[in-house]
A and B are shown apart, each in its own frame.
Chain A
């Protein structure tokens, strides 16, 4: 199967053709995919070289002239390295853009910690107004990229990953989907972790929601799910564990509830290897998830 990132340049190249407002800003990384677009739209597809502060600042300047820039590089160099530019050059200026990252939390484990960005969504959570899409399949990535570019002058982050579910779902760029219904707890699976969550909760009496747009957080969907599924909630996120715990708690502030936030651990593993090995090390493989989720639900049932 191709990856989400394989879809990026073809989709955005079509958008460049459809909409004269669309522009692309790169900092070397990803330029090969955009080679044809660079030739066809030399004024709207800009590679600034290995300069990530300029990547973000220039995109903001383009937005201030009325364009809709799509800005792409690895998550660590898109959100973390130029974070103050992200904070000031978009939000504070009142300018919008679509930031599309690759490499996610540990897509290239052999590359080590310098190319891992498990904290990207948590960092964006310190800012106001960002929409965050976390597709779980290349087809969903296409859909969400189109939503992101079409979202006026909003600030939107699209987090692409080589990790993927086997099948795409009908995502709408806004709402959580109900994938399974049960009465003994609610699990929110984010993006590429859905398959592992479904395997982990097979046979458990639990509701599974699927989230590919995590900001704004679909609190209404969570509240609705807890009415029949109960107020024990597990969040399974492919970035820093607990990133959405506060959002889930806010959504359930009116009722007693328990929330367990699972995701990528803070501690640096200092290991290379494969994606599967890192998934297991962070306890995000199906077997580990089953143990942690069922343990949390049993604990809640025993307490009640």
Chain B
């Protein structure tokens, strides 16, 4: 599927390497730079109810990129979807650019949180889900993307252990698993969430249909985690 930006240009999934290339100077990207790319594309293309024309609409879904390292794929998707102008991309990381190597929500339309320090997104997402519920905003869904190594941070475990028993049904986590955690057990990620009462699905993080099915699976009364497996970082 393609989208059209304010100038009438349309961007699809196939354009993302070129958009990332505007930041990196090369259209070829290794697995680390693109680990989140398919997850982000499927979310923004088919799942999230967000509108670049109204990035602050109260009824919007919230997507929080907690793993703020390597945000080129994120910026490319935001540009493809019209949240930020494509001509911002070449300035990536420069003094006058709003696009840093970690995103700043106060500088970029549609960016819900500033991230970079690991382990902040999931607790903030819990609060976002609580805040929306407290205001009777039951339609918006909250999504947070974290990395498998990011799960090392204990703050995530405070949030996971709370959100399950609290029944935060509008909360969704996607863990992009590129096997970068230094101490990990196979299957440990989904098991950790399931033990706290979450609904959990593990899928191929490159398969758009499987990602879509996992993102849209029903999970009444429980928060939902999708573990998206991609190529190991050090492979």
Per the 8 Å Cβ criterion, residues 97-139 of B in contact with A are 104-106, 112-114, 117, 119-120, 122-135, 137
Asked if B13 is an interface residue, CB under 8 A from chain A, the answer is no
Residue in chain A with minimal CB distance to B126: A58
* Majority-rule SS of B interface residues: helix
Q: When chains A and B are docked, how far (Å) is the Cα of A53 from the Cα of B193? A: 18
Q: When chains A and B are docked, how far (Å) is the Cα of A65 from the Cα of B130? A: 9
Q: Is the pair B133, A53 in contact by a Cβ cutoff of 8 Å? A: no
Q: When chains A and B are docked, how far (Å) is the Cα of A67 from the Cα of B113? A: 16
Q: Is the pair B158, A51 in contact by a Cβ cutoff of 8 Å? A: yes
Give the Cβ gap from A65 to chain B, nearest Cβ, in Å. 3
A-B contacts besides A66-B135, A88-B117, A93-B106, 5 pairs, CB < 8 Å? A49-B161, A58-B130, A64-B124, A65-B137, A93-B105
Binding site for A on B (CB under 8 A): 58, 104-106, 112-114, 117, 119-120, 122-135, 137, 154-155, 158-159, 161-162
Q: Which residues of A contact B122 (CB under 8 A)?
A: 57
Q: Is the pair A46, B123 in contact by a Cβ cutoff of 8 Å? A: no
Q: When chains A and B are docked, how far (Å) is the Cα of A93 from the Cα of B58? A: 18
Q: Is the pair B158, A48 in contact by a Cβ cutoff of 8 Å? A: yes
Q: Which residues of B contact A66 (CB under 8 A)?
A: 58, 131, 135
Asked if A61 is an interface residue, CB under 8 A from chain B, the answer is yes
Q: Can you identify 27 A-B contacts, CB atoms within 8 angstroms?
A: A23-B134, A43-B130, A53-B119, A54-B126, A54-B162, A57-B120, A57-B124, A58-B123, A58-B127, A60-B123, A61-B126, A61-B129, A61-B131, A62-B127, A62-B128, A62-B130, A63-B127, A63-B131, A64-B124, A64-B128, A66-B58, A66-B131, A66-B135, A84-B117, A85-B120, A93-B124, A94-B106
Q: Which residues of B contact A69 (CB under 8 A)?
A: 127
Give the Cβ gap from A94 to chain B, nearest Cβ, in Å. 5
Asked if A89 is an interface residue, CB under 8 A from chain B, the answer is yes
Q: When chains A and B are docked, how far (Å) is the Cα of A105 from the Cα of B24? A: 51
Q: Which residues of A contact B104 (CB under 8 A)?
A: 92
Per the 8 Å Cβ criterion, residues 22-73 of A in contact with B are 23, 25, 43-44, 46, 48-49, 51, 53-54, 56-67, 69
Q: When chains A and B are docked, how far (Å) is the Cα of A69 from the Cα of B134? A: 12
